[in-house]
A and B are shown apart, each in its own frame.
Chain A
Amino acid sequence: MIPVQFDYLAPTSVEEALAALGEHGDDAKIMAGGQSLLPVLRMRLNAPEVVIDLGGISSLRGIRDDGDAIVIGAMTTHHDVRDDALVKEHALLVSKAAAEVADSQIRHRGTFGGALAHADPAGDLGAPALALGAQFVIAGPGGTRTVEAADFFVDLFETAIGDDEILTEVRIPKHTGWGAHYEKFVRVAHQWPIVAVAATVKGSIDEARIGLTNMGSTPLRASAAEQALAGASATEDGVRAAADLAADGTNPPSDLNGAADYRQHLARVLTGRAVLKAAGN
């Protein structure tokens, strides 16, 4: 389908992009990889007058080591995130989740920042970002601010990014040596998750961090399960009681792929599996 006509701007710096956003306000939409935005435009669910393409801003692309954290530029593609050595070493969970996003074509276009800014509750990257305690660096007319993951995801398709702001990078505290697994439950390979569990553990098991995908209007932490896992043994019996707590406090949707109670059941089963795989079992 053909989108409504729009003007196209391709700034080459964040400042230029912010200025364009400031000028066009509500009428403008930022485009990263376009993998969520373009379907929306083509189905005419949104009709911005101006599309501001961040693709020409090279400073937004790439991954760097920043001491106790690694920093992923907003425009880094899923493909690059998945294969990056720093990510694999210090935030393995993110690499594992990026590998599960859509298919190869989409992973080469879609971006880390775009996916997080889009904040689809079924998106694969929110739960790992939340579990690892990511910090979101957001640039606006007044300068740059940093938002904690817990405050970043506000609601369905809604984040802390203001209308006149741009997500520039995401800092992920290093979890060097932590085991990780992203357990994604789908009916067909290229599908968004019905439910997914992002688990990363230190040792087996000293500490666990668990994020849930599509179990509410935002990514969720399975805090009760995390607490119960500290000091648990990485065996089926050892994790079962903790995994049974995984759905506590969740509020998943009901749709053609499953009713809410089924999703809660899945969250419990998948948490057990994800934790064991993260712990190398």
Chain B
Amino acid sequence: MTATQDRPAAEIGKDRRRKEDQRLITGRTRWTDNITLPGMLHLAMVRSPFAHATITSVDTEAAKAAKNVVAVLSGKDFGEELGVCINAWPITPDQKTPSHSPMPADRVAFAGEIVAVVVARSAAAARDAAELVDVEYDELPAVIGIKKALQDEVLAHPDLGTNKSALWVFDSQEAGTGGEVEAAIEEARNGGIVIEREYRQQRLIPAFMEPRSVVVDPTGEQLTMWSATQIPHILRFALAATTGVPESKIRVIAPDVGGGFGGKLQATPEEWVAWAVARRLMKPVKYTETRSESLMAAHHGRDQVQTLTLAADKDGKVTALKVHLDADLGAYVAIVGGGVPVLGAFMFNAIYKFPAYRFECQTVLTNTTFTDAYRGAGRPEATYAIERLMDELAAEVGVDPLEIRERNWITHEEFPFTTVAGLEYDTGNYEAATAKAKASFGYDELRAEQKERRDRGDRVQLGIGVSTFTEMCGLAPSRVLGSLDYGAGGWENASVRMTPLGKVEVVTGASAHGQGHETAFSQIVADRLGVPFEDVEVLHGDTQVAPKGLDTYGSRSLVVGGEALVKAVDKVIDKAKVLAAHLLEANADDLDYADGRFTVRGTDQGKAIQELATATFAGHDYPEGMELSLDADATYDPVNFNYPHGTHLCAMEVDTETGAVTMRKYTCCDDIGTIINPLIVAGQVHGGLVQGIAQALWEEAVHDESGTLVSGSFVDYLLPTAADTISFDVVHTDEPSICTTNTLGTKGVGEAGTIASTPAVVNAVVDAVRHLGVSDIQMPCTPERVWRAIHAHDGDAPTPADAMPHFEEGALNQDPTAGGADQ
């Protein structure tokens, strides 16, 4: 009996428990901070308390004299070998990009920037001595907040002469994908509907569970860096490109990584400083950040002001959408930086057939922590804006928000559909997802309850929020990235190796940081190659094991990395077929391959893939001209993004006396094509939803006017726990819209929940109190903001800036100017 007969009929679609979970959850595994090397030294960073200052002197004497301290180094102790932190995506040719030293010698541009590093024999000694480093600063005026930065009165980087980094524009008329926006808006002003809003995407902190950590070992032929990163391959490239060490001398390892959400998609100052120190001292070093450092100095996300104009005819059929974003880059243009809001450019039109569309994104520099990708990166912002606007349009027309969407969405017969932003959506069925979500949610019953409570004037009002989202994921066709001036491609690589005893080693360049790739990829290989799930080992995250890859972000691992894997498996089968034909003394054309076994058609003769692996290892008998290996590599460059979509429905209760909001019900029906592992999908959806809900209700990074992060600990930066959320109703369409641009038919799901949920929640909160005169509440919808919005008109509470209507009165409905505590 061969092992193949024990295999269940199909792995794909099965609720496999994640094989990696036991070690990840117990922590008995290789987290970077768990790595200890002989003679290893520990680093502590000295960070600027000022948002903007000239460094006048760094006195390291006392620190150097402290017990167990080996060295204290500051920016001026290094030359070019320190390298720079790179921006891989200059969004325009004339983008203003301040040079970003990992440890500047002359001037700091945000509070938390590294000015010196202490190297000691223990982490405690390094931390103690860091307090003895005496840095003198001349404080410079700091610019905090987007609106202030746009005024260019105070400059984040005086040498640049402006805070405006780049202006990126897409116009459907210029692109030939749609009509002219201004004309459509003008027309709507006469007899149609024009909705003008300013929405604020607050600043968020990725708050991954494992703090960032890096170990560098300079001893040995290659310099090795272990890092809690999402991007080992890009790191190797960037280290080589900026620090003068040849690529071939660099090995980067992302061992088990405890979450990232985009927050570990970065080439960080901390990594570069550790690299430089290890090379200088020729000793292994480790740096692990504290949670306070993580909140303050690891990159932040979102932070945009969105100025939006939606034009429609009087029936609510949209005729144009105009978007102007002002996006806060923070102090530097980080690795993806301005590319994040640009990724949103293609998603404001969402699932709708808009005839005209214009998008502008102005990026600005401020003296705050630099911003970059955070779960969804660009797409949550776009989805929030359009889904909030569609609810406003429904209110204006006086119809149900689902009805207004139906009047505008692409119907399922219309796929493939080329959007006004120029993307081709291959498949989707918004009607089916909406119908299923509605039924599961109990939409009509909840609407009836809402009416009843309104009529009764109940203290607790009920609101229903809708978000019919789509997104573009599976980053990305390399040529498309090239056309957008991104510095790298979007392909992925995989290898499949047959071991002598018939096990399978799978190597992927898409390195997981907790998503369960080991399990899902094993399921794919088990089915495709016909081997037991347990026999597949997935290797990743080490440039010596997986030399090629573009890492993990943008919901790309399965749809791009998984496809590369399929292609590699198919090559293995092709190679094995030649050997099987030879050993079975049959014509290759007469062989069938199923369940891991070649059989000669019409006979009971056959060879299992495991037997062929052993035969290849032995090499005793193989055909002339055959290379003695079954192993194969494949690189896959996606031909298109893929477009998961879903209908999310949220019911929120609002206590009108206190402004407190409580979630009553949340249903999502996501269409993500083929599902490899429903359990992993459920995990991604649940976690994603909570992250999006948290933006709507709880999380906000706030800097005060001097640039100090006020929400600098989890006491003030409110992360939800399981106690704050409800059981979500997660369903999928009965007949998923299979993706047509990859073999497995999959679409990404890593970001879907986060992208979709934020507007569903805010729409529900606003819906609950719309009859009290409220049409917007700034995120996060704190009880105080909700209460003030409700009572803005009755004199019970003073009118706050964030609840006032905008444009007409010349006032902004959400004022992010000062970045102050009241922001």
Contact = CB atoms under 8 A, between A and B. Distances in A.
B723 interface: yes
B698 A265 contact: no
Contact of A265 (B124, B131, B721, B797): B797
Contact of B783 (A4, A103, A258): A258
Contacts of A1: 127, 290-292
B204 to A, nearest CB: 14
A257 B787 contact: no
Contacts of A188: 698, 718-721, 723-724
A4 B724 CA distance: 35
Interface stretch (B175-183, B389-397, B708-716): B708-716
B290 A192 contact: no
Contacts of A258: 782-784
B660 A185 contact: yes
A138 interface: no
B777 to A, nearest CB: 14
Interface string A250-281: 00000111110110011001100000000000
Given A189-B721, A262-B787, A269 B715 contact: no
B145 to A, nearest CB: 16
A197 to B, nearest CB: 12
B657 interface: yes
A5 B66 CA distance: 14
A2 B784 contact: no
Contact of A257 (B713, B719, B782): B782
Contact of B784 (A43, A103, A259, A269): A259
Contacts of B718: 187-188, 191
Interface residues of A, number: 26
Interface in A172-191: 185, 187-191
A44 interface: yes
A187 B292 CA distance: 21
B123 interface: yes
Interface in B109-130: 123-124, 127-128
A5 B797 CA distance: 50
A188 B697 CA distance: 10
Contact of A2 (B124, B658, B697, B788): B124
- B interface, how many residues as a size bin? 35 or more
Contact of A190 (B123, B702, B723): B723
Contact of B711 (A43, A44, A256): A256
A256 B131 contact: no
A256 B797 contact: no
A278 to B, nearest CB: 18
B798 interface: yes
A219 B710 CA distance: 25
B117 to A, nearest CB: 16
A262 B788 contact: yes
Interface in A189-226: 189-192, 194
A5 B128 CA distance: 9
Contacts of A256: 700, 702, 710-711, 716, 821
A255 B782 CA distance: 12
Interface in B127-180: 127-128, 131
Contacts of A44: 131
Given A1-B127, A4-B128, A269 B658 contact: yes
A187 B783 contact: yes
Contacts of B720: 188
Contact of B721 (A190, A192, A259): A190
Interface string A1-26: 11011000000000000000000000
Contacts of A259: 784, 822
Given A5-B128, A256-B710, A256-B821, A189 B787 contact: no
Nearest to A44: B131
A272 B698 CA distance: 26
A193 to B, nearest CB: 12
B79 to A, nearest CB: 32
A128 to B, nearest CB: 21
A5 B788 CA distance: 47
Given A257-B782, A258-B783, A192 B715 contact: yes
Contacts of B128: 4-5
Contacts of B723: 103, 188-190
B302 to A, nearest CB: 17
A262 B715 CA distance: 20
B288 to A, nearest CB: 10
Nearest to A189: B723
A261 B756 CA distance: 35
B787 to A, nearest CB: 7
Nearest to B128: A4
A2 B782 contact: no
Contacts of A189: 721, 723-724
Interface in B758-796: 782-784, 787-788, 796
A182 B378 CA distance: 43
B629 to A, nearest CB: 51
B699 to A, nearest CB: 10
Nearest to B660: A185
A137 to B, nearest CB: 31
Contacts of A2: 123-124, 127
Contact of A269 (B657, B697, B700): B657
Contacts of B787: 262, 265
A256 B698 CA distance: 11
Nearest to A255: B821
Nearest to B798: A261
Contacts of A43: 292, 713
Contacts of B798: 261
Contacts of A192: 715
Contacts of B131: 44
Contacts of B702: 256
A44 B128 CA distance: 10
Contacts of B711: 256
Interface string B289-312: 011100000000000000000000
Contacts of B724: 188-189
Nearest to B123: A2
Nearest to B289: A1
Nearest to B719: A188
Contact of B658 (A185, A257, A261): A185
A266 B782 CA distance: 13
A158 to B, nearest CB: 20
Contact of A262 (B127, B697, B784): B784
A43 B797 CA distance: 38
A18 B768 CA distance: 58
A262 to B, nearest CB: 5
Contacts of A103: 723
Contact of A187 (B291, B710, B782): B782
Contact of B698 (A187, A261, A262, A269): A187
B211 to A, nearest CB: 10
A144 B800 CA distance: 52
Interface string A44-55: 100000000000
18 contacts: A2-B123, A5-B128, A185-B658, A187-B698, A187-B718, A188-B698, A188-B724, A189-B721, A190-B721, A191-B718, A256-B710, A256-B821, A258-B782, A258-B783, A259-B784, A259-B822, A261-B798, A265-B796
Interface of A: 1-2, 4-5, 43-44, 103, 185, 187-192, 194, 255-259, 261-262, 265-266, 269-270
What 7 A-B pairs come out closest when comparing CB atoms?
A189-B723, A1-B290, A258-B784, A2-B124, A262-B784, A269-B657, A188-B724
Given A257-B782, A261-B797, A262-B787, 19 more contacts: A2-B124, A5-B128, A103-B723, A187-B697, A187-B698, A187-B783, A188-B721, A188-B724, A191-B718, A192-B715, A255-B821, A256-B711, A258-B782, A259-B784, A262-B784, A262-B788, A262-B797, A266-B658, A269-B658
